[in-house]
Amino acid sequence: MLQMLYVLRTYNIWSCMTYFAQAVARALEECGLPLVTEFALYNLVTPIAVSGQYADEKITRPPSTWNADQLRRLIRTLMKRRVLAPDDDFKAGVWHVVGALKAASAEEAICLVDPFAYISHLSAMQRFGLTDRAPESLHITTPSRALWTRLRDERMAPLIEEHPDWEVPAMTRIGVAPVVRRRPVIFHETKHPAEPSAIADSYARIAPIGRVFCDMLDQPDLCGGMPHVLECFERHAETWLTEIVAAVDEFDSAIVKVRAGYILEEWLELGSDTAAGWVRHAQRGGSRKLDPHQPYGTVFSEKWMLALNV
């Protein structure tokens, strides 16, 4: 009888314990991530490694130390057990979760791999219903290399400060193939990225709608061309006037303010004190055109000092 009680007690103790790799596999399954980078996996696993438990269950044989080398050993173990597999659409450092319930779309995969990337230009216009065009290529914007590195350092700083003795794996800028999930991708780098918004029920991010209108005026060639941009303004600017005016006012470009001022004030006659004030950015004698990719033409706006070459 005593021996049976001892066996039952021992079984109960060990039944609520699990191995480290098993706990991580459960965490990956429960968090639902379709793919992970080395840094993302490190963040997910660190609480498990430090506490020695997961979901109130003790872990048997937890790592005695937790650093980048231990993480790479864990990744090798998870790959052997077919929990993780290298993702062919990215260079080294990205793995898709084999048992994920939902596969990542092209935009989700890119936004998971690059924490500062977001959908932009014609792709964002389509998402917001501003255009009836269906671009074959996915437009993605990410910060310029120097800015990306600074943003990376800022994001990693709290983790490094909390654990100064740990060897925290660096968040790296991972190369992306020109085709992701069988979809062509066009990347844009900028020194002035938007503060993107999360898309509901998705891992992807998108430029705010006001910024999308700014990008139309700044880079119309990436948004279907200036004639199409004007069509979009004509159809939707009144609906989104508050967002457009706020975004243009913050946008660091005089020519965007001049183009927006002409379109909103003179062409569409959508009154706004803020938009009217952008006329101070008009430049007499300057080489400013409504469409930067077309000849000047013969029609000009005297107020906005802009060639109306569309």
Contact between 67 and 78 under an 8 Å Cβ cutoff? The reply is no
Strands 17-19 and 57-60 turn out to be parallel
> What's the average model confidence in pLDDT over 288-303?
92
Please give the DSSP secondary-structure letter assigned to residue 266: I
pLDDT at residue 117 tops 60 = yes
pLDDT at residue 8 tops 80 = no
Which of the four pLDDT bands, split at 50, 70 and 90, describes residue 217?
very high
pLDDT of residue 142: 97
pLDDT of residue 29: 92
pLDDT of residue 164: 78
Which of the four pLDDT bands, split at 50, 70 and 90, describes residue 16?
very low
- As separate numbers, helices (DSSP H) first and strands (DSSP E) second, the chain gives 12, 14
Which of the four pLDDT bands, split at 50, 70 and 90, describes residue 185?
very high
> What's the average model confidence in pLDDT over 41-66?
89
Percent of the chain whose predicted confidence (pLDDT) is above 90: 75
The ranges assigned to domains in the chain are 1-103, 106-207, 224-310
pLDDT of residue 61: 82
Which of the four pLDDT bands, split at 50, 70 and 90, describes residue 13?
very low
pLDDT of residue 7: 36
pLDDT at residue 118 tops 50 = yes
Which of the four pLDDT bands, split at 50, 70 and 90, describes residue 226?
very high
Q: Residue 116 and residue 110: Cα distance in Å, rounded? A: 10
pLDDT of residue 91: 80
Percent of the chain whose predicted confidence (pLDDT) is above 70: 94
Q: Residue 222 and residue 113: Cα distance in Å, rounded? A: 23
The pTM (predicted TM-score) of the whole model is: 0.89
Which of the four pLDDT bands, split at 50, 70 and 90, describes residue 48?
very high
> What's the average model confidence in pLDDT over 182-209?
96
pLDDT of residue 6: 35
Which of the four pLDDT bands, split at 50, 70 and 90, describes residue 175?
confident
pLDDT at residue 205 tops 60 = yes
pLDDT at residue 21 tops 70 = yes
| CATH class entry, domain 1-103 | mainly alpha
pLDDT of residue 287: 74
pLDDT at residue 18 tops 80 = no
pLDDT at residue 277 tops 60 = yes
Which of the four pLDDT bands, split at 50, 70 and 90, describes residue 12?
very low
The chain-wide mean pLDDT, for the chain, equals: 90
- Give the chain's largest Cα–Cα span: 103
